[in-house]
Amino acid sequence: MTTDERSRSTGSDPVHAPVLVAEVVAHLAPRPDGVYVDCTVGLGGHTAALLAAGAGRVIGIDRDTAALAHARARLGADTARVDLVHADYRDLAAVLRRCGVVQVAGAVADLGISSMQVDDPARGFSFRHAGPLDMRMDQSGGATLAERLQATTESDLADVIFQFGEERHSRRVARAIVRARDVGSLVTTTDLAAVVRRAAGGGRWQRLDPATRTFQALRIWVNAEIDGLGAFIDTATGALQPRGRLAVIAFHSLEDRVVKHTMRRLAADGVAAVVTKRPIEPGDDEIARNARARSAKLRVLEKAA
């Protein structure tokens, strides 16, 4: 996920290249008589590819209303075959009931953050430009990063930074953040980044900005990105038709671990078969076109007949 800081948009419209799109389409093999779900529709890249490959209907879910608006504009006339729904992908069962769908032929979930979100300073995801301490993917509700930081303890914050960011200086970073918070000097994302850099150490020679891991951890924390992921895979698999497929793209080792173990458990229980014995990763050409793809891992399961 951290590679998103290097994937930039140009011009006034957001640019977001869907990751491993050809591989997703090949594994889902969309049919005109099938209903498919893009559980994290973003700007509509995977949905557009599914429709172009012959999908009869796609239900596109996203918790970011701005992303849904851009997806609607991008899909144009194809929106006649798309239901765009403002919801969290973990609410898949309720979304399908609302759309009058019992089973689907296939589903895809791209768990990464979009470049549109990173590139907009007003969203508060990036440490490169000053923005509010927000980081919510769904700005219609929930606590902002500023509100969460205000309510947390130094110890709990250190655990978040270590668990979700794998930052070895998590205790030192958390202590510095809390001190800055308590004296009122933590107002913008660049304020936060400066505090983290000083605490984490390192210099300009580093490939990775010292603030990267902490910002990743805080974003995962604010959006509860790991919570309910395994239960979602269970729900999505249950919603598949026999021989239907679920494709999940993860960008963080914690996410990928949950995906891998949940799919293996479903296979052991005889509910589904794991199609990808090893995760599919992007090739050099895709990484050259889109730095965001670098850490992507695609895993696919097929529901039992």
Cα-to-chain-centroid distance, residue 256: 12
pLDDT of 161: 98
Average pLDDT over residues 1-29: 64
User: Is 203's pLDDT higher than 80?
Assistant: no
In a domain, 212, yes or no: yes
Q: Which of 240, 259, 257 is nearest to 300 (CA)?
A: 259
pLDDT of 204: 57
The total domain count for the chain is 2
For the stretch 99-123, pLDDT in tens is: 999 999 999 999 988 878 888 999 9
Contact residues for 86 (Cβ-Cβ < 8 A; gap 6+): 62, 63, 65, 68, 140
Contact 227, 89 (CB under 8 A): no
User: Is 12's pLDDT higher than 60?
Assistant: no
Same domain, 264 and 201: no
Same domain, 139 and 90: no
Same domain, 266 and 199: no
Same domain, 212 and 261: no
Same domain, 7 and 59: yes
In a domain, 168, yes or no: yes
pLDDT of 206: 64
In a domain, 125, yes or no: no
For the stretch 59-85, pLDDT in tens is: 999 999 999 999 999 999 999 999 999
From 193, 223, 253, give the residue that closes a domain: 223
Same domain, 240 and 99: yes
**Secondary structure class of 231 (helix, strand, coil):** helix
User: Is 97's pLDDT higher than 60?
Assistant: yes
In a domain, 25, yes or no: yes
Contact 189, 126 (CB under 8 A): yes
pLDDT of 67: 93
Same domain, 87 and 234: yes
Between CA 57 and CA 61 the distance in angstroms is 13
User: Is 5's pLDDT higher than 50?
Assistant: no
User: Is 200's pLDDT higher than 70?
Assistant: yes
In a domain, 129, yes or no: no
In a domain, 118, yes or no: no
pLDDT of 20: 97
Average pLDDT over residues 147-156: 98
In a domain, 116, yes or no: no
Strand order in the sheet with 35-38: 82-86, 57-62, 35-38, 104-110, 240-250, 297-303, 272-274
| pTM given for the model | 0.90
Same domain, 91 and 147: no
In a domain, 128, yes or no: no
Average pLDDT over residues 221-241: 97
pLDDT of 292: 79
List the CATH number of the domain containing 173: 1.10.150.170
The b-or-e profile of 253-263 (16+ CB within 10 A means b, else e) is ebbbebbbebb
Q: Which of 73, 5, 71 is nearest to 43 (CA)?
A: 71
Same domain, 24 and 51: yes
Same domain, 212 and 140: yes
Q: What's the whole-number average pLDDT of the chain?
A: 92
User: Is 49's pLDDT higher than 70?
Assistant: yes
What domain range is 273 assigned to? 2-111+226-303
Amino acid occupying residue 141: G
List the CATH number of the domain containing 45: 3.40.50.150
Dihedral sign computed on CA atoms, order 289, 226, 125, 16? positive
From 175, 206, 223, give the residue that closes a domain: 223
Same domain, 48 and 194: no
From 156, 189, 223, give the residue that closes a domain: 223
Residue % of the chain over a pLDDT of 70:
93
